[in-house]
Each structure stands twice: as structure tokens, then as C-alpha cells.
């Protein structure tokens, strides 16, 4: 694994993790009337803390895009999942709560799972699948699942809604990472002219904005530890599926390697859940304002 890719991916995870904490802190005070509406973003744009969180997330996405351009998506995605560690670090700093047994266990599972998956699978580049049908089958399955989850979330927005929305957003972010990788390849081969004539960069933009609305709606209606684990777990799984499914990423497929890869992914998800449910994570009930005037913070 390239040291540069490692540094880029971990730096991206750091920015994204810090950004999520700041975003949720502002979004939980938004009016419920903005739920699943683009108006929510317009309201939040008036909150300095939310803007700071968005700036960090954009910086993280830019670093992640560079990492995806230099390394396989199946390698970068597990590293990006460590954003939860940085979210926990900032939350712990703000709450003063210790890491404790749960935190250290989650840390060990997440770090061990990432290491096991990378070492066993040894993600490496291969030939991308040229058949567009396969592209759209995988992307369509992701988008369709996200749509179903969002539909159910709208019906139960104060119960299971935040988890469903976060999962849907994670799937969209995973597809966005895959299209970012494709866009980077198009740019390196054909320059700006080759990039703007393809649909992928526009897909990156649409998926990013849509996922942002889903994430902020999840942050608006529940504490961070209800939504962030689902978001963090869904994104790498979707990205790896896209990478192996049509981007040409190759993993070892012998019995032993597959067993370790599966165990690694399971450990990543278990670690994410333990860290996401840590008491240091913001857990106060959402307090939406009845009007549309958010306090400047």
C-alpha cells in the first residue's frame, strides 16, 4: 500500500469525521418542517458551525478523491471508514468522557478489520468492465435500495428513520466514490474536455447533494450515535461492491483469503457500531425549532 494513499485516506477520514460532528450539532436544531427538503440546506447555511462542518467535509472529500485517483477503491474505502474514530475523538474532547472498554474494543475491531481485509485481499488494479449493463445493474441496485430506505424513513422519521436515512446516504456516497474514481480516470485520459462530456461528474454532484440532504435530515431528527454508524458502515461496503463489480478492482479469492476478507468486513461493521454507540457521542435529544430561524452559533 502506498504511504501517500494511506495519508490521503486517513486525512480525508479526519476531516469528514470532524465535519460530521459539527454538522449534527447544528442540524439537530433545525425545524422538522425541513425534513427531507432542500430548504433544510438553505436554513443551515446561516449557521457558522454547520458551514465549518461542511468545509471540513468538502476538504475530506477532495482528499478522498485524490486518494481514489491513486489507489483502488477497495483499498481506500476501508480507510475512509475510520472517520468514526475522529468523530469520537472530537466528541470525547467536547464531553470529557473516557474511551473506556467499549471504545477500545471498537477501535481494535475497526483497525483490525481494516488491516485484515487489506492484507488478505491485497486490493489491486485490474481491467474495468466495459459492459454498461453491469455498471447500471450495480448502480441501479444501490440507488433503488437507497430510494426504498428513504421512503420507509419518511414514514417513521422519529423512530427508525434516522438509521434508514443514514444507510441510504452511505450507499449514495459509496456510488459517488466509484463515479469519482471514473471521473478521475476520464480527466487523466482526456483532460477537462473529456471530463465534461461524460455523465459521471454530474452524477457525482447529484449524488453528493442528495446524500447531503439525507444526512442532514438524519442529523436533524436524532442524535449522532443513531445515524453515524449506519452511514459509516454502508459507504465502504457500497464502494467495495462497485470497485469489484465494475471498476476492475481485484481481490484474492481463495478460500482462506475470502474468509479473512469476510471476517475483516464484519469486524469493521462491529467496530463502527461500538464506536458509534459510545457514550461520548452526542446523545441529547434533537430539539427542533418551530420556526425557520436558526440561532447563529
3-state secondary structure of 131: coil
What is the full per-residue pLDDT of the chain (297 aa) written as tens digits? 588 899 999 999 999 999 988 888 887 777 766 677 778 888 888 889 889 999 999 999 999 989 988 888 888 988 988 888 888 888 778 777 777 788 888 889 988 998 899 899 888 877 777 778 888 999 999 999 999 999 988 877 556 788 899 999 999 999 999 999 888 888 887 778 777 888 889 999 999 999 999 988 888 877 777 788 888 889 989 999 998 888 888 888 888 899 999 999 999 989 888 887 777 776 544 444 444 444 444
Q: Are 289 and 231 in contact (CB under 8 A)?
A: no
Cβ contact 114:262 at 8 Å: no
Question: What distance in Å separates the CA atoms of residue 152 and residue 162, rounded to the nearest whole number?
Answer: 11
Q: What is the pLDDT of residues 113-162, one digit of tens each?
A: 988 998 998 888 777 777 788 889 999 999 999 999 999 888 775 567 88
Q: pTM score, two decimals?
A: 0.82
Q: Which residues, including other chains, have CB under 8 Å from residue 103's CB and lie 6 or more apart?
A: 88, 92, 274, 275, 278, 280
Q: Which residues pair with 99 in a beta bridge?
A: none
268, containing H or E segment: helix 255-276
pLDDT of residue 238: 92
Which grid cell is 131?
459492459
Distance CA(163)–CA(231), nearest Å, equals 8
Contact 223, 284 (CB under 8 A): yes
Distance CA 253, CA 270 (A): 23
pLDDT value at position 295?
Answer: 44
Amino acid at each position: 500500500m502506498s504511504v501517500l494513499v494511506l495519508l490521503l485516506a486517513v486525512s480525508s477520514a479526519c476531516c469528514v469525521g470532524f465535519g460530521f460532528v459539527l454538522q449534527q450539532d447544528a442540524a439537530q436544531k433545525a425545524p422538522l418542517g425541513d425534513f427531507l427538503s432542500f430548504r433544510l440546506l438553505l436554513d443551515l447555511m446561516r449557521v457558522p458551525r454547520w458551514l465549518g462542518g461542511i468545509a471540513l467535509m468538502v476538504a475530506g472529500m477532495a482528499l478522498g478523491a485524490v486518494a481514489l485517483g491513486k489507489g483502488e477503491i477497495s483499498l481506500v474505502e476501508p480507510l475512509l471508514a475510520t472517520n468514526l474514530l475522529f468523530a469520537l475523538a472530537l466528541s470525547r474532547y467536547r464531553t470529557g468522557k473516557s474511551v473506556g472498554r467499549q471504545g477500545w474494543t471498537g477501535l481494535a475491531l475497526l483497525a483490525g478489520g481494516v488491516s485484515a481485509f487489506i492484507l488478505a485481499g491485497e486490493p489491486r488494479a485490474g481491467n474495468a468492465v466495459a459492459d454498461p449493463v453491469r455498471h447500471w445493474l450495480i448502480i441501479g441496485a444501490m440507488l433503488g435500495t437507497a430510494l426504498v430506505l428513504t421512503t420507509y424513513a419518511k414514514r417513521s422519521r422519529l423512530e427508525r428513520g434516522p438509521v434508514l436515512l443514514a444507510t441510504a446516504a452511505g450507499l449514495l456516497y459509496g456510488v459517488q466514490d466509484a463515479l469519482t474514481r471514473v471521473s478521475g480516470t476520464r480527466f487523466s485520459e482526456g483532460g477537462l474536455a473529456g471530463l465534461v462530456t461524460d455523465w459521471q461528474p454530474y452524477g457525482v454532484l447529484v449524488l453528493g447533494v442528495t446524500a447531503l440532504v439525507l444526512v442532514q435530515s438524519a442529523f436533524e431528527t436524532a442524535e449522532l450515535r443513531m445515524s453515524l454508524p449506519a452511514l459509516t458502515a454502508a459507504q465502504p461496503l457500497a464502494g467495495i461492491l462497485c470497485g469489484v463489480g465494475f471498476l476492475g478492482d481485484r481481490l484474492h479469492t481463495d478460500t482462506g483469503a475470502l474468509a479473512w476478507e469476510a471476517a475483516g468486513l464484519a469486524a469493521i461493521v462491529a467496530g463502527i457500531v461500538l464506536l458509534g454507540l459510545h457514550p461520548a457521542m452526542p446523545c441529547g435529544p434533537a430539539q427542533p425549532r418551530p420556526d425557520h430561524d436558526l440561532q447563529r452559533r
